[in-house]
Structure formats: structure tokens, C-alpha cells
Amino acid sequence: MKRIGIICKAGRPEPPEILRDFLPWLKERGLEVYLDIETAKAMGIRGYPRPEIPPAVEVVVVLGGDGTMLGVARLVCEKGIPILGVNLGGLGFITEVYKEELYDVMDSILNGRCPTQERMMLSACVHRRGEKIADYTVLNDIVINKGALARIIDLETYINKSYVALFKADGLIASTPTGSTAYSLSAGGPILYPTIDSIVLTPICSHTLTNRPIVLPDDSLIEVTLRSKTEDVFLTLDGQVGFNLREADCVEIKRSQFKTTLLMPCERDYFQVLRSKLKWAER
């Protein structure tokens, strides 16, 4: 490995503090570092626009929280570059490394001792009057939800061309296993082991109480058509990117051709993460 990218959560004081020692440590080991331009500017050194980093590097280190990781996952997925997440945020389900572990974990990566794990992603295409007008890739979830002042919305849903239901609800979540511990979990969805190939479809505050979350095979084609006249309905991608939907718009959801490759810290398992983050077995 000769080239490494570093992307940090903007506006946080911790990344420059960490990087003052970490950058010289990397350069001593012969690595060329590509630092995002926002963080570099705060440190008074040269940086690179984020879209220019993936084509130039072999691995990306993310200093931030899960939100920063989600943005980087979408940025690098087409290149298949592995990502190491260093948690400076809150829960940190996919940023599993603590800053105190950074040097030991990085040494394992440089010596080829840190395993990787692939996570499936989803694609969302918006069709309006027979024309595709938007196309997205996500790691966590695709959400169709109403705005603050909108009433319950009607979502006509088909899976593999078979009619499922007209969901009358605040919205609908399509989640990957990685995203099953995010919005879907708070809406009553199940936790899925992150390497399982499947999709969770979770209604949000459904008017019909028997509308429950369902786990689908990863090759499922989900089509959701907005049947409400309100203009206050949004498609939200990974909780970060929004798109305004209109009546009769169809959102097509399926497994993406791309994957996110995570560098996993050694000697840590998913159940340890659940115990730590969700406080399992605590009273």
C-alpha cells in the first residue's frame, strides 16, 4: 500500500488534533496521504476535493461518525476501495474503531492483518411519467416519508410485480442489513446480521396496525408509487440526501451492483458492538 485517503467530519476539532501526529506517522512509513480539502485548510496544508480522493488511493480512513461514513461509502463504492471508520461521533455502528486504537489498527492494515467485510447496498430510481429522473446508491436506507404538515400518505407497493398493499402510513423504509440498526430499528424493524443478503421493508406509523416489517430476499424488486396528492413527500437517502416526490411518482428499489468494503478491527465481533451500542444485558 502506497496511497491513503483521509476524509474527516467537517467542523469538528478532533480530526486536526489527531492528524498532527498521525500524518507524520504515515509519511514515515512511506505513504502518500490525500487529505480532504476542508480539513487540510483548517490545518494550513494542501488538500484535495473529496471526489478526487477515491481514484487516487487504495484505502480511505474516515474520522467522524456513522453519518460521515455513509457519505464516504456512497463516494467510493464504484471504486471498491476499503474504508476504515474511526468513531468520533455517537453510537458508531459502522465506525467501530476508537481513536485510541488508530495506530494499532493502522499497523495491522499495513501488515495485511486486518480483515475486510463486504456490505450490500441498495439503489433507488425515481420514475415520473415513464421517465427515470433520479438514481441513487445507499448503504443504510431509502425512506419515503411525509413532511411535518402532511397527512398520512398512500403508498402502493409491489414486490417482484406482485401487489402487496396500499400502505396508509407516515412513510416506508427500505433498509439494508447494515441499516437495520438505524431508522428501521426505531420504527420497529428487526436487527439483521450485517452480512446477510436481504432487504427490510418497514412501514412508519402505519394506520393499519397489522402492517408489520417484512424481510425480503436480496434479489427482490420493490416498486412504491405515491398515490397521495400532497406535494410534501420526500425520498431520503441514508438520511442525508433528499428528493421531492409528486403524485404518481414510482420509486424502484433493488440491490445495488456496488458494495461497501469495510476494514474490520481485529478481535471484535458484531455482538460485542450490539452489547456496547444498544446496552444489551444491562439493567
Closest CA to 241 of 93, 124, 87, 119: 124
Chain mean position to CA 241: 11
For residue range 62-103, what is the model confidence (pLDDT) as tens digits?
A: 999 899 999 999 999 999 999 999 988 666 788 878 889 999
Residue 275: what are its φ and ψ, rounded to 5°? -60, -40
CATH class (in words) of the domain with range 3-115+264-278: alpha beta
| Residue 66 annotated among the catalytic residues of the structure | yes
Architecture of the domain made up of 121-258: Sandwich (2.60)
pLDDT at 43: 93
Q: Which residues pair with 224 in a beta bridge?
A: 157, 251
pLDDT at 245: 96
For residue range 111-136, what is the model confidence (pLDDT) as tens digits?
A: 988 899 999 999 999 999 999 999 99
- Taking all residues of the chain, what is their mean pLDDT, rounded to a whole number? 93
Residue 12: what are its φ and ψ, rounded to 5°? -95, 140
For residue range 245-254, what is the model confidence (pLDDT) as tens digits?
A: 999 999 999 9
Average pLDDT, stretch 148-155?
85
Q: Do 68 and 8 form a contact (C-beta atoms < 8 A)?
A: yes
Task: Decide if pLDDT at 267 tops 80.
Answer: no
- Is the pTM higher than 0.85? The answer reads yes
C-alpha cell at 15: 480530526
Query: Which residues have a Cβ under 8 Å from the Cβ of 197 and sit 6 or more positions away?
Result: 120, 177, 217, 218, 255
Task: Decide if pLDDT at 36 tops 70.
Answer: yes
Kindly indicate the confidence band of residue 183, based on its pLDDT and cuts at 50, 70 and 90.
very high
pLDDT at 280: 85
Average pLDDT, stretch 3-32?
94
Task: Decide if pLDDT at 278 tops 90.
Answer: no
Query: Hey, which bits of the chain come out as E strands?
Result: 3-8, 32-35, 59-64, 83-87, 97-98, 116-128, 131-138, 141-146, 153-159, 162-169, 171-175, 198-204, 214-217, 222-226, 233-237, 241-245, 250-263
Q: Do 63 and 14 form a contact (C-beta atoms < 8 A)?
A: yes
The ranges assigned to domains in the chain are: 3-115+264-278, 121-258
Catalytic residue, candidates 21, 36, 66, 104: 66
For residue range 211-232, what is the model confidence (pLDDT) as tens digits?
A: 999 999 999 999 999 999 887 8
